[in-house]
Structure 1
Amino acid sequence: MIKAIVTGHTRGLGAAVAAELVVRGIPVLGVARGRAEIGEGMEQAVVDLSDAAALAAWVGGHALRSFLAGCDQALLVNNAGMVTPVGPLADQDPLAALRAVTLNVAAPLALAGAFVQAAPQAERRILHISSGAGRSAYPGWSVYCATKAALDQHARAVALDGDPRVRACSLAPGVIDTDMQAEIRATPDDKFPLRQRFVDMKDSGVLLAPAACAVHVVDYLLAGGFGGRPVDDLRG
Structure 2
Amino acid sequence: MTTSTSAPRSAIRAIVTGHTRGLGEALAELLLQRGIDVLGLGRGTHAELASRHAARLTQAVVDLADPAALERWLADGTLSAFASGAECVVLFNNAGTVEPIAPLGEQDAGAIARAVTLNVAAPLMLANALAATPAPSANASRRIVHVSSGAARNAYPGWSVYCATKAALDHHARAVALDAPAGVCICSLAPGVIDTGMQEAIRATSAEQFPMRERFEQLKQNGLLSTPQTAAQQLIDYALSEAFGSAPTADVRELAGA
TM-score (norm 2): 0.90
- Percent identity, aligned pairs only, is 56
Matches within 5 A, 1:153-164: 153-164=171-182
Pick one of 216, 240, 244 that aligns with 1:226: 244
Gaps of 5+ in 2: 1-10
Q: CA RMSD in A?
A: 0.9
* Conserved 8 A contact 1:74-1:119: no
* Conserved 8 A contact 2:85-2:135: no
Residue 66 of structure 1: CA displacement?
Answer: 1.1
* Conserved 8 A contact 2:174-2:248: yes
Pick one of 12, 22, 30 that aligns with 1:12: 22
Match of 1:128 in 2: 146
Residue 235 of structure 1: CA displacement?
Answer: 1.1
Match of 2:217 in 1: 199
Letter in 2 for 1:16: A
- Please give the alpha-carbon distance, in whole angstroms, between the structure 2 residues aligned to 1:162 and 1:47: 29
- Please give the alpha-carbon distance, in whole angstroms, between the structure 1 residues aligned to 2:179 and 2:213: 39
Match of 1:102 in 2: 117
Match of 1:24 in 2: 34
> Is the partner of 1:90 in helix, strand or coil?
coil
- Please give the alpha-carbon distance, in whole angstroms, between the structure 1 residues aligned to 2:237 and 2:182: 20
1:35 matched to 2:53: no
- Please give the alpha-carbon distance, in whole angstroms, between the structure 1 residues aligned to 2:83 and 2:102: 40
Match of 2:3 in 1: none
- Please give the alpha-carbon distance, in whole angstroms, between the structure 2 residues aligned to 1:67 and 1:225: 25
How many residues in Structure 1 have an aligned counterpart in Structure 2? Answer: 236
Match of 1:178 in 2: 196
- Please give the alpha-carbon distance, in whole angstroms, between the structure 2 residues aligned to 1:54 and 1:162: 29
> Is the partner of 2:105 in helix, strand or coil?
helix
Residue 60 of structure 1: CA displacement?
Answer: 2.0
- Please give the alpha-carbon distance, in whole angstroms, between the structure 1 residues aligned to 2:242 and 2:226: 25
TM-score (norm 1): 0.98
Residue 212 of structure 1: CA displacement?
Answer: 1.4
Letter in 2 for 1:145: C
Gaps of 5+ in 1: none
Pick one of 83, 95, 98 that aligns with 2:98: 83
- Please give the alpha-carbon distance, in whole angstroms, between the structure 2 residues aligned to 1:85 and 1:60: 30
